[in-house]
Amino acid sequence: MVVISDIRSKTAPSQSKRKISQITKIARHHSATTTGDYFAFWNNRWKGLGWGKGGYHEIILRDGTVQLCYDAIYPTNGIANHNTNTYHICVVGNGSFTQAQEDAFEERCRLAMSKFNVSVNNVLGHNEFSGTA
């Protein structure tokens, strides 16, 4: 079982909500950085883009700890034109991930699949969504 760091009370608030039944996909992201967490991404990227909220519901740190950033009822800014129906999980790294991260992703993804009734065919990498580069 992974260690959860619940930071939901410390993240930028979301002004929009959705019904859990709207979630039909789960996205796996990578941060394209060697380190980082929600606060580093917020201060060094998202805030500068003018975003009002972060990009991911969960962030899996290098040691496998999961930062729980947003409740599923709040869409985040993970993939343009796909946020209303997607639950976003980010793994910190750029193509090289630790076993702890892979184990945490598998556990968290399986939990989300069960919770949102999402099939494995609808678990996609960021670039597998239509209209992404």
pLDDT value of position 132: 86
Q: Which of 64, 81, 93, 70 is nearest to 25 (CA)?
A: 81
The pLDDT tens digits for 64-89 are 999 999 999 999 999 999 999 999 99
Number of H helices, E strands in the chain: 2, 6
pTM of the model: 0.96
- Does residue 84 contact residue 18 with C-beta atoms inside 8 Å? yes
In terms of DSSP bridges, do strands 123-125 and 58-60 run parallel, antiparallel, or are they unpaired?
unpaired
Q: What is the mean pLDDT of the chain?
A: 96
Task: Give pLDDT tens digits for 28-50.
Answer: 999 999 999 999 999 999 999 99
Tokens coding 101: 């991260």
Helix (H) or strand (E) holding 39: helix 38-41
Residue-wise pLDDT tens digits, 93-126: 998 999 999 999 999 999 999 999 999 999 999 9
pLDDT tens-digit profile of 89-99?
A: 999 999 899 99
Distance CA 97, CA 52 (A): 29
